[in-house]
Amino acid sequence: GEDVEQSLFLSVREGDSSVINCTYTDSSSTYLYWYKQEPGAGLQLLTYIFSNMDMKQDQRLTVLLNKKDKHLSLRIADTQTGDSAIYFCAETLSGYSTLTFGKGTMLLVSP
Amino acid sequence: KAGVTQTPRYLIKTRGQQVTLSCSPISGHRSVSWYQQTPGQGLQFLFEYFSETQRNKGNFPGRFSGRQFSNSRSEMNVSTLELGDSALYLCASSLEDSPLHFGNGTRLTVT
């Protein structure tokens, strides 16, 4: 069955790098996503990666995928206080719009 | 381009009543999905509609239903409300086989 796991909390200082980790169990997952949720808001799509890729970089964000270990990570460079939010990892199969989400990692950035 | 719009933002209902939530997808998006977010269960998939047809359904009781109109707008209905239905209901839209874009959600409180 499908299951996505994330650590619940991460605290960093402004200017440091943040790394949020995620593991998934469905080896047939095709797309893996990172969403950000700020208080009182919906989910903002940050980035996504296809399962045939190892890495994707988008400005301050770097996604690494280890398909053998079913491990996905999101690195945020030069973390800012505005990055404080809950980050969700999610997986889906090709051709489907059904996402399986992790419980979310709360990132707290202190000045 | 306008994002996914959900109305209303907040709703308070009494146990036993029914409620209808509305979602307007991004222009051109034909797939609309609904998710329930609660502190205990996290984000759970409710159902997905594509071209007015329910294409996939999550593990929720029959009290939860939805529909999609010819302009891709969608509604979800919850009948005989229970206290446990209190949640943030998120709507997402997408192009075929593309990432989901979420609205800001409707926060439903059942008293």
Output the pLDDT for position A95: 61
CA dihedral B4, A57, A38, A95 (to 10 degrees): 40
On whether the CB atoms of residues B27 and B4 are closer than 8 A, the answer is no
Which among A100, A98, A87, A94 is positioned nearest to A2, based on CA atoms?
A100
- Alpha carbon B104 to its chain centroid, in Å, reads 11
- Which residue in A has a C-alpha nearest to residue B3's C-alpha? A44
Contact B4 A42 (CB under 8 A): yes
Confidence (pLDDT) at A93: 73
Contact B111, B17 (CB under 8 A): no
* Residue A97 to residue B4, Cβ atoms within 8 A: no
Chain-chain contact of A99 with B94 (C-beta, under 8 angstroms): no
Confidence at residue A28, expressed as pLDDT on a 0 to 100 scale:
76
The confidence score (pLDDT) of residue A30 equals 80
Residue B66 CA to residue B48 CA, distance in Å, equals 9
Q: Please, are residues B6 and B93 in contact by the beta-carbon 8 Å criterion?
A: no
A94 neighbourhood in chain B, CB within 8 Å: 97
- Phi, psi at residue A11, to the nearest 5°? -120, 130
Listed residue (A66, A60, A68, A3) closest to A36, CA to CA: A60
- State the average pLDDT over residues B11-29: 97
Q: How many helices (H) and strands (E) does chain B have?
A: 0, 11
Answer whether residue A1 shows pLDDT above 50.
no
**pLDDT tens-digit readout, A5-58:** 999 999 999 999 999 999 988 777 788 999 999 998 999 999 999 888 899 999
Helices and strands (DSSP H and E) totals, chain A: 0, 11
| % of chain A at pLDDT higher than 90 | 76
User: How many Cβ contacts (< 8 angstroms) between chains A and B?
Assistant: 53
- Judged by CB atoms closer than 8 Å, whether chains meet at B100 and A41 is answered as no
Mean pLDDT of B26-54: 95
* Cα–Cα dist A111/B15, whole Å: 44
In this predicted model, which residue has the larger pLDDT, A95 or A14? A14
| pLDDT score, position B62 | 96
Q: What is the torsion angle, in degrees rounded to the nearest 10, for the CA atoms of residue B60, residue B79, residue B42 and residue B5?
A: 120
Q: Is A20 on the interface with B (CB under 8 A)?
A: no
What's the angle, vertex CA A37, arms to CA A36 and CA A42, rounded to 5?
A: 115
Put simply, the answer to whether B97 touches A95 (Cβ < 8 Å) is yes
Residue A2, pLDDT above cutoff 60 = no
